[in-house]
Amino acid sequence: MTAGAEAECVDLLVVGAAEVLTCGGTDAGPARGPAQADVGAVRDGAVAIHGGQIVEVGARARLERAYGRHARRIVDARGGVVLPGFVDAHTHLVFAGDRAAEWEARMAGVPYLELLARGGGIRSTVRATRAASLETLLLHARRWLSRAVEHGTTTLEAKSGYGLERATELRLLRVIEALRTEVPIELVSTFLGAHVVPDEHRERRDGYLELLEELHVEIARTGLAEYVDVFCEQEAFTVDEAERLLRHAAGLGFGLKLHAEQFTASGAAALGARLGAVSIDHLEHASEASCRALGAAARPPVAVLLPGVAFHLGEERHAPGRALVDAGVPVAIATDFNPGSSFTPSIPACIALGARTLGLSVAECIVAATRNAAHAVGRGADRGSLVRGRRADVLVCDVPDHRWLGYSFGWNPVRTVIAGGRVVRDRASAGDTRPAPG
């Protein structure tokens, strides 16, 4: 089909948007520096979709002329904002139990790493998860995944990491695999066996590293995960251990991710860059000097920032979002959905938090949760922007302009979710999105 051709048949035409945000940019890579703020807004725009892909984005009048009479379905955005589906590039989707009591202790002043050192934190979720069947885990993950989709997530990365033993880690990856066949969105799976060293290996850490290497081999053979991640932190894994595990995983063909410098400036971010990780995540304690060093690389990894964590844990220190963007590091925003450090499946909530705590504009946060987040899971060529030929993952939000996605918070602005060209969620509009005349 030729862009702009007269009266062509399309599956779906989205019209009536105050703004369509293409988040497209001018080159194929992630947005860096000033490009991070370029949402590619088309005023009074429309989107034509066919065969699961974007056919054209442009002025409403022109697209209505070209496709209006032959569109199988028309979605009226009613003065809202249309943008690419969100890519949640960092979640711990599959687990059992909850940590409400620990969260209350944290709010009363007990540090996160102290809860972990006392045998709580990740370790308490591991105990609950080991005891849960595949069916229980599936039911629970399905429920949270559905909430994520309601909030506009159309691609979601999900990590294992609450098993820390062969059988349970594989069970978690199988839950992700099973969900993949039932949901309309795409799941990207990551093996995070290196979340913490489990109690039974505490006296012999090396034995656990060896087990993880064996699991890398098994998971590479079965194709149960695409990425390998390591939590590099006090109480978890050292920089040297992370390097050993990531090099081993890279040798087997895995893409690499790294939980880096969440509580300690350890040098893990530089390690991730040196090993060619697709993303380095967290970075709350990364120094401005290390941001500049990351930005100097020809192709730095995507920095996946998780503003829900500082909010959820009541931490005062936030990731240096402004310094990263100014240094030329592509920044993504994700939820880090998990029961301990960020219990939200909502990307809109994280955009609102990011715009308040990371030193980024709303436009930069939107590009972070779409185009750059797609690159953070190796899907940048295929989604994350509304560009001809990309997968048609499209949202309609009940807000009058894109700044409202950060400005207004605490409710779900996503009305319609289109994934792979199909409308998968469509709730009644709350009405006219224009502000009341003042």
Which residues of the chain form contacts with Fe ion (CB under 5 A)?
Answer: 336
> Which letter does DSSP use for residue 391 in this model?
B
- Closest CB to ligand NIG among 241 and 336? 336
- Residue 343: phi and psi, rounded to 5, are -95, 60
Span 116-135, contacts to ligand NIG by CB under 6 A: 121-122, 125
Q: Give the per-residue contact string, 212-251, with ligand NIG (x = CB under 6 A; - = no).
A: -------------------x--------------------
CB of 77 to ligand NIG, least distance (A): 35
- Closest CB to ligand NIG among 259 and 318? 259
311 near ligand NIG (CB under 6 A): no
- Residue 268: phi and psi, rounded to 5, are -65, -30
Distance set, CA 119 to CA 6, 19, 114, 198, 379 (Å): 66, 50, 9, 10, 37
Residue type, 27: D
390 near ligand NIG (CB under 6 A): no
Residue among 330, 340, 354, 384 that touches ligand NIG (CB under 6 A) = 340
- Do 77 and 413 contact (CB within 8 A), yes or no? no
191 forms beta bridges with: 228
Neighbours of 313 (CB within 10 A): 18
- Closest CB to Fe ion among 278 and 387? 278
- CA dist 399 and 121 (Å) reads 38
309 near ligand NIG (CB under 6 A): yes
- CA dist 92 and 71 (Å) reads 39
Q: What does 122 bind: Fe ion, ligand NIG, none (CB cut-off 5 to 8 Å by kind)?
A: ligand NIG
385 near ligand NIG (CB under 6 A): no
Distance set, CA 136 to CA 67, 112, 317, 344, 397 (Å): 46, 27, 36, 20, 33
Residue 409 burial class via C-beta count within 10 angstroms: exposed 0-12, middle 13-18, buried 19 and up: middle
Q: What does 254 bind: Fe ion, ligand NIG, none (CB cut-off 5 to 8 Å by kind)?
A: none
Q: What does 346 bind: ligand NIG, Fe ion, none (CB cut-off 5 to 8 Å by kind)?
A: none
**DSSP-derived pairing of the beta strands 81-84 and 394-397:** antiparallel
Number of residues in contact with ligand NIG under rule CB under 6 A: 13
Nearest to 119 by CA among 231, 6, 202: 202
Residue among 36, 160, 341, 416 that touches ligand NIG (CB under 6 A) = 341
- CA dist 265 and 26 (Å) reads 34
CB of 232 to ligand NIG, least distance (A): 9
- Do 60 and 15 contact (CB within 8 A), yes or no? yes
Span 73-92, contacts to ligand NIG by CB under 6 A: 92
CB of 92 to Fe ion, least distance (A): 6
336 near ligand NIG (CB under 6 A): yes
- Closest CB to Fe ion among 21 and 305? 305
Query: In the complex, which residues of this chain contact ligand NIG (CB under 6 A)?
Result: 92, 121-122, 125, 231, 259, 262, 309, 336, 338-341
